[in-house]
Amino acid sequence: MCGITGFIDFKKNSEETTLRAMTNQLEHRGPDDLGLFYKTIDQACIGLGQRRLAILDLSQKGHQPMTFKNWILVYNGEIYNFKEIAKDLQELGHFFESGSDTEVILKSFDQWGTQAVDKFIGMFAFVLYNQETNQIYVFRDRAGVKPLFYSIRDGLFLFSSELKSFHQHPKFCKEINFNSLSLFLQYNYIPTPHSIFKDTYKLAPGHYLQINLNNQDISTNKYWSVEDCYNKPKLDIGYTQACDELEKLMINAFSYRMISDVPVGAFLSGGYDSTAVLAILQSQYSEKIKTFTIGYKEQKYNEAKYAKQIAKYIGTDHHEKIISPADAKGILSKLPYIYDEPFSDNSVVPTLLVSQFARTKVKVVLSGDAGDEIFGGYDKFNRSISLTKYPSLIQSFLSGTMRLINPEHIPILNKSYNFATRYEKLHEIWKYKDYAYAIKVISQFITESEAKRFLTMPVQEQKTYFDISGALNSTNDPLNKLLAIDYKTFLLDNNLAKIDRATMSIGLEGREPFLDHRIIEFVSRLPGNYKIRNGSNKQILKDIVHRYVPKEMMDRPKIPFLAPLTEWFSNELKDFYYDYINEERIKKDGIFTSDIVKLRDSFFSGNINNQKLWNILVFQLWKEKWL
């Protein structure tokens, strides 16, 4: 696991000292080694930088940039099946000098070209430069586990694992994209391919850029997409057989994630996803796996007691830490640097704290991320479908009635927690009567109209992966379409971004066993009623877990992995809101309207939820750090 960065400067003004500064900005991702490649050719000057976190082959033989023949590679990630691919390459006449997967990538591309990526099981973002053909390839893995930002402006192409590297280049333009800022306010994150800065983007998962140095042409190519998985014919398979086949896949995929030359542990919340990972893995290993959880004094958020119970039953080496508002306060000042694009998921604070806790014992950690998105764990799937099931006449009547009601004029409604936003969202859902549109609206914490009201600059609606339902064919029932959308939105830009930055901020490699692409390729071909079954969410995963852990131990209400931010910011941390969201500061910045000060006051009077104000605060902290 590493951090990569670099540039292609067609005007040949970028220097090696700039490349070094860009690369060292990622030292937290790779504290073990630094590697640079800088060269000026007729067409451009090229810089490739890498900071290494040594996980496989800890020797200098794994140093990057790594070269083979005319190929030069910088790489972030893990190819878990590298030994099998190496064996195939050896049979074709290749020899290996290291025990690293980096060398396997190089020789795979030399042997098979861009089709080599189809053989990789893993997570990755890498840049390959072919000095003979003058072609550069920029790849991102299928699910988007590993980040890859790029910027194109005035003959300069920049790339990096994190945006903070770009600030080290004197030609990088730090101009806010207000359309993206609007998206952030709505969703807590900025959906791919957009970025907070103009002319800067996230490479879509399952895609690669090909850059022709001879003519400066940059093309985007798809090699895999989750839509293609869902669009395949559904499997003619019984439920029990589906459970059996899925369990076999999970055993194989999870075991791959234990491959390492350094200690491996896992996060354990006590929910079905992390329990599935640990119960299966611990059944395969005699040595106790180290598990980590954090808890709160505020019991409605606290899952630590359940995690401890599960850990004892399956036999892990368990570690627990209880956190407080003081712990959160220490993290807040670090958030803008760690998440160098505005990001305000409610669980970012506990994710950072549990990552720091785990790093004291291990260098690699597994998580249960993606279980909800693959198997249908969120209530938003149920609501998106149920809210659009009303007969048209009933919907029209209710929608028409709601249009006549202004909640601001009815005190009992206006005092109801966040009623105005819920009212507006329900009206939008019934207006369009489309479950794919419904999940887009349900996913918004601040509605699009509210975001426009909060911003001083006009914004335009942006296309995102929330709008891919038209690409999903009729073999998909409503639930499967919603799962495909969530895989490419909330999973990609919220959960995966959250865990990558949190773990890598302290040189901890995060691995997501559920994101082995073979799992989604199988589960996407199962009918929706295998996932949400008789009203029970992610039932197929639950039934597999019950083979390892008794149902009565697992059968309890789902507790989201959240921090008690509402309580904390109402008391110990409330000064943050008054310091960063006040009339004087807002007027000076010229980004937000005075409506957000009213938003602050509404929060303290108990009329809105904390998430709206938290979004604003996170942006203010980010702006103070980077602008």
Domain coverage including residue 613 = 564-627
The pLDDT of residue 59: 87
For 533-588, write each residue's pLDDT tens digit.
999 999 999 999 999 999 999 988 766 666 667 777 877 788 889 999 999 999 99
Q: Do 236 and 505 meet the contact criterion of CB atoms below 8 Å apart?
A: no
Whole-angstrom distance, CA of residue 514 vs CA of residue 273: 9
In this structure, are 107 and 204 located in the same domain?
yes
DSSP assignment of 146-161: S--EEEEETTEEEEES
Token pair in block for residue 535 = 């009203």
In this structure, are 242 and 220 located in the same domain?
no
Whole-angstrom distance, CA of residue 340 vs CA of residue 202: 13
The pLDDT of residue 215: 96
Whole-angstrom distance, CA of residue 320 vs CA of residue 547: 26
The pLDDT of residue 563: 65
**What percentage of the chain carries pLDDT values higher than 90?**
80
Burial of residue 171 (CB within 10 Å: 0-12, 13-18, 19+) is middle
Q: In the chain, how many domains are there?
A: 3
Select from 165, 200, 224 the last residue of a domain. Answer: 224
In this structure, are 43 and 188 located in the same domain?
yes
Amino acid type, 478: P
Taking the CB of residue 73, how many other CB atoms lie within 10 A of it?
A: 23
Q: Do 540 and 246 meet the contact criterion of CB atoms below 8 Å apart?
A: yes
pLDDT band at 397 (very low <50, low <70, confident <90, very high): low
In a domain, 410, yes or no: no
The pLDDT of residue 394: 53
Amino acid type, 346: N
Token pair in block for residue 570 = 């109402």
The pLDDT of residue 605: 84
The pLDDT of residue 372: 97
Catalytic residue IDs: 2
431-440 burial by CB neighbour count: b if 16+ within 10 A, else e?
eebebbbbbb
Whole-angstrom distance, CA of residue 299 vs CA of residue 304: 10
In this structure, are 497 and 607 located in the same domain?
no
The pLDDT of residue 405: 54
For 584-609, write each residue's pLDDT tens digit.
999 999 999 999 999 999 888 887 77
More confident call, 406 vs 499: 499
pLDDT band at 424 (very low <50, low <70, confident <90, very high): confident
Return the closest-CA partner of residue 489 out of 144, 151, 237.
144
Whole-angstrom distance, CA of residue 413 vs CA of residue 424: 13
Return the closest-CA partner of residue 515 out of 163, 142, 230.
142
Token pair in block for residue 221 = 């190519």
In this structure, are 364 and 219 located in the same domain?
no
Residue 413 has pLDDT above 50, yes or no: no
In a domain, 457, yes or no: no
The single residue listed with the structure tokens 């936003």 is: 421
**CB proximity list for 212: less than 8 A, separation 6 or greater:** 134, 135, 218
Enumerate helices (H) and strands (E) in the chain, giving the number of each.
28, 17
In this structure, are 241 and 180 located in the same domain?
no
In this structure, are 500 and 615 located in the same domain?
no
Whole-angstrom distance, CA of residue 440 vs CA of residue 613: 20
Kind plus residue range of the DSSP H or E element containing 250 = helix 239-256
Whole-angstrom distance, CA of residue 246 vs CA of residue 43: 50
Ramachandran class of 418: left when φ > 0, alpha when ψ lies in -120 to 50, beta otherwise: left
Cis-peptide into 557, omega within 30 deg = no
In a domain, 473, yes or no: no
Q: What average pLDDT does this structure show over 112-121?
A: 98
Whole-angstrom distance, CA of residue 539 vs CA of residue 375: 8
Token pair in block for residue 232 = 């395949």
> What is this structure's pTM?
0.94
- Kindly give the residue spans of alpha helices, DSSP state H, lying in 459-593: 478-487, 497-504, 517-523, 539-545, 551-554, 565-570, 574-580, 583-589
Q: What is the mean pLDDT of the chain?
A: 92
DSSP assignment of 125-151: EEEEEETTTTEEEEEE-SS--S--EEE
Where in 258-413 does DSSP place strands (E)? Answer: 264-267, 290-296, 317-323, 364-366
For 49-71, write each residue's pLDDT tens digit.
999 999 988 888 889 999 999 99
For 205-222, write each residue's pLDDT tens digit.
999 999 999 999 999 999
Select from 519, 535, 554 the last residue of a domain. Answer: 554
Return the closest-CA partner of residue 528 out of 306, 230, 279.
230
In this structure, are 191 and 314 located in the same domain?
no
Q: What average pLDDT does this structure show over 356-383?
A: 97
Cis-peptide into 65, omega within 30 deg = yes
Whole-angstrom distance, CA of residue 491 vs CA of residue 370: 7
In this structure, are 51 and 153 located in the same domain?
yes
Whole-angstrom distance, CA of residue 490 vs CA of residue 103: 33
Residue 393 has pLDDT above 70, yes or no: no
Token pair in block for residue 569 = 């910011």
Q: What is the CATH number of the domain that holds 141?
A: 3.60.20.10
Amino acid type, 364: V
In a domain, 245, yes or no: yes
The pLDDT of residue 391: 55
In a domain, 411, yes or no: no
In this structure, are 218 and 256 located in the same domain?
no
In this structure, are 214 and 69 located in the same domain?
yes
In a domain, 332, yes or no: yes
Select from 507, 525, 554 the last residue of a domain. Answer: 554
**CB proximity list for 75: less than 8 A, separation 6 or greater:** 2, 4, 50, 64, 66, 102, 105, 124, 125, 126, 127
In a domain, 409, yes or no: no
Query: If you compute the radius of gyration of the chain from its CA atoms, what whole number of angstroms results?
Result: 24
Give the largest Cα separation in the chain, rounded: 78
Q: What average pLDDT does this structure show over 19-44?
A: 97
Inter-axis angle of helices 435-442 and 478-487, to 10 degrees? 40
Whole-angstrom distance, CA of residue 56 vs CA of residue 256: 13
The single residue listed with the structure tokens 């119960």 is: 279
In this structure, are 238 and 273 located in the same domain?
yes
Q: Do 70 and 131 meet the contact criterion of CB atoms below 8 Å apart?
A: yes
Q: What is the CATH number of the domain that holds 372?
A: 3.40.50.620
In a domain, 465, yes or no: no
